[in-house]
Structure 1
Amino acid sequence: MKVLIALDHSDAAQEAARVAADLLVPMGADFLVLNVSQIPIVWAGAGGGFGTVAPLELATLDAQTSHQRKDVITEDAEAAGVPDPQVVVTSGDVVHEICEAAVRHDVDLIVVGTHDRSLLQRLLVPSVSRSVIREADRPVLVVPERAA
């Protein structure tokens, strides 16, 4: 069984990695750990309010920081109990990158964490876990931040 764990530096993602390791290491699972940097959107416009919205070009920054991010994510995964993770770091839309990596690496299960948010926060900030459930073409395990 091959498992993709979406891992960032949040408590929710760390808990998801820990739960995945606890459940799936005894089954002999192989782990792909994915870290996605969201591409920031910048406003480039005139003072009158007209302008364009465009993604900031991160190719140079990604090339410089990719190796460092990979080392940090590997340490985070191993601290959560994930043995010998294959680590992939990328940038882009988080939901799209998670679903694409699942297809590209032919994983059997996607594991994501979910934050404990208020109603207002849920209205203002889209849920990555809910979006992954809707977009993914394979099973998704959603682990709440307070699973312990």
Structure 2
Amino acid sequence: MHIMIAVDDTETSIDTIHTARRLFGDDADYTVASIGEPSAYLAAYDPVGVTVFDVETLDVDQATLAAARAGEAAHRAGLDAANIASEVGAPGRQLCELARRLGVDVIVVGYHDRGWLSRLLDPSTHTHLTRHAPCPVLIDRH
């Protein structure tokens, strides 16, 4: 069984990895995935107006940071044998695409309780996953 665990830069990501291991055991194949922020968001804020952004370089940098974040979370949770995956873009969409490409059986994602305005302006990753993922989605609510 191939399990993909979506992580971000919060401490609850470690708990989500522990939950997945507790439920699926040590014999499952794990991929720990993290999605980097798109460069369009990063390049949009330039208070002085003189910075020239190389969008491709920003995307590579964000993918590298996302991979490091996923690797660190896996290591801290004791899952050193996990595959590490990173993408840049909208998290829900990118995780769905990654799950399709990797042939994932289950996606495990943490839950962050956010206010109604935050949900309105930026729909949650787990909501996107439950509607569009190519496989079952387990939401870890801590």
Asked if these proteins are the same fold (TM beyond 0.5), I'd say yes
- State the alpha-carbon separation in 2 of the partners of residues 117 and 79 from structure 1: 25
TM-score, structure 1 normalization: 0.76
Q: Deviations over 1:90-117 (max 9, x none)?
A: 2012111100110100010011111022
Question: How many residues were matched structurally?
Answer: 133
Q: Structure 2 residue aligned with 1:90, among 83, 87, 106?
A: 87
Question: Which of 50, 61, 72 lines up with 2:58 in the alignment?
Answer: 61
Distance in 1 separating the partners of 2:123 and 2:117? 11
Change (3 A) 1:17 1:57: farther
Do 1:2 and 1:30's aligned partners in 2 also have CA atoms closer than 8 Å? yes
Instruction: State whether structure 2 residue 21 is matched by structure 1 residue 24.
Output: no
Name the SS for the 2:14 alignment partner: helix
4+ residue stretches of structure 1 with deviation over 6 A?
none
Q: Which runs of 5+ in 1 are unaligned?
A: 44-55
1:131 and 2:128 are equivalent in the alignment:
yes
Question: 2:4 matched to which residue of 1?
Answer: 4
Larger Rg: 1
Unaligned 5+ runs, structure 2 = 46-52
Q: TM-score, normalised by structure 2?
A: 0.79
- Give percent identity, aligned residues only: 31
1:116 match: secondary structure:
coil
Against the structure 1 CA distance between its residues 80 and 58, is the aligned structure 2 distance closer, same or farther, given a 3 Å change threshold? Answer: farther
Question: Which residue is 2:110 aligned to?
Answer: 113
Measured in 2, the distance between the counterparts of 1:101 and 1:135 equals: 12
Task: Tell me if 1:38 matches 2:37.
Answer: yes
More strand by share: 1
Q: Secondary structure at the match of 1:111?
A: strand
